[in-house]
Amino acid sequence: MPDPQLAHVLDFADHSAKATPDDIKKLCADVIKYGFHAAFVNPTYVTLAKETLAGKAPVGTVISFPLGGDTKALKMAAANNAVSQGADELDVVPNIGLYLAGNTNAFMTELQDIVESAHMTGAPVIVKFILDSGYFDKEADPKASLMRASEIVRAAGADFVKIGSGMGPRNPTLADLAAVKEAIGTSIKIKVAGGITDRKTAEAFFAAGANRIGTSHAIEIVSEKPATKKASKEE
């Protein structure tokens, strides 16, 4: 039997390029059926998901996903527009290149401005910034670098650090989660995404301190069924 307690901390996502309106309607129906926390869709489907869910679950979307290469102004506009269309949660990819180049002030400013823009409509919204831990692996001290980036996310006013996009250099590990947890404690929450396709793995991340998991395999996780093979790597 599906576990409703586990389901409620899973964000069921479909960020595939080939997602159709019918796919999104099915995603939303499954969110309601299984009691998942939220439906996460691409920005073009925020309105459809909002109408389909009809207040029965939050709608989340992604900003500058998965590379974070849009200009700050474009990210700010996209965040504001998504909230205006009804998005309850935003998973934003920051310009990690700024951080890796040592330009932490510009990195912080980008994050702060996006948070401010997301809240400009006055509607309640949860903002998460995605740190793909694989991008820190070539740093002199990868753990310390990931921790510092997490601290900046917290200081910028975000609600979550999200470890992994599901499309980065590698999937997040329990060691990555421990590093982020050490950096931010319980001051803000942690979401993990990428390669979490079964209940055992999901429970291990929750036991280690994750507050939320983003996945396209939510049904398999709660039903303990083998994960369906995907043509491309997703959350």
List C-alpha distances in Å: 138 to 72, 143, 145.
25, 10, 10
Give me the residue label for tokens 């299984």. 34
Check residues 30 and 1 and name the one with the higher pLDDT.
30
DSSP string, 102-147: T-HHHHHHHHHHHHHHHTTT-S--EEEEEE-GGGGTTSSSHHHHHH
Instruction: Provide the annotated active-site residues.
Output: 91, 162, 191
pLDDT in tens, 22-68: 999 999 999 999 999 999 999 999 999 999 999 999 999 999 999 99
Q: What is the pTM of this model?
A: 0.95
pLDDT in tens, 74-123: 999 999 999 999 999 999 999 999 999 999 999 999 999 999 999 999 99
**pLDDT for the residue numbered 224:** 81
Neighbouring C-beta atoms of residue 231, cutoff 10 Å: 7
What is residue 184's predicted lDDT score, i.e. its pLDDT? 98
**Could you tell me the fold of the domain covering 4-223?**
TIM Barrel (3.20.20)
Main-chain dihedrals φ then ψ at residue 80, nearest 5 degrees:
-65, -40
Under DSSP, is residue 5 helix (H, G, I), strand (E, B) or coil? helix
Length of the chain: 235
- Percent of the chain scored above 90 by pLDDT? 93
pLDDT higher than threshold 50 for residue 233: no
Retrieve residue 224's tokens: 């303990």
